[in-house]
Amino acid sequence: MENKINFANKDEFYPPIPTKGTKRRRTNFLIQLFNFFRLNLKIMLIVVKGHS
């Protein structure tokens, strides 16, 4: 008999589990608020450069 490998059960097919720090950064309101304003500032700089 041939040795068959079941590829569906390999670890590389499952998503990585987020660490404690990653969960904190994703759910912390102040960090998300900071990221929101930072992204808006980047977008506004691109728009302003395009209009000059």
Structural domain includes residue 8: no
The string of pLDDT tens digits covering residues 4-41 is: 666 666 667 778 899 999 999 999 999 999 999 999 99
Structural domain includes residue 40: yes
* Structural domain boundaries, residue 31: 19-51
pTM: 0.61
Structural domain includes residue 30: yes
What is the model's pLDDT at position 14? Answer: 78
Structural domain includes residue 11: no
How far is the CA of 30 from the CAs of 3, 18, 19, 36, 46, in angstroms?
Answer: 53, 19, 19, 10, 25
Residue indicated by tokens 């209009």: 51
Structural domain includes residue 7: no
Structural domain includes residue 10: no
How far is the CA of 6 from the CAs of 2, 14, 15, 47, in angstroms?
Answer: 12, 14, 18, 51
Domain count, the chain: 1
Structural domain includes residue 41: yes
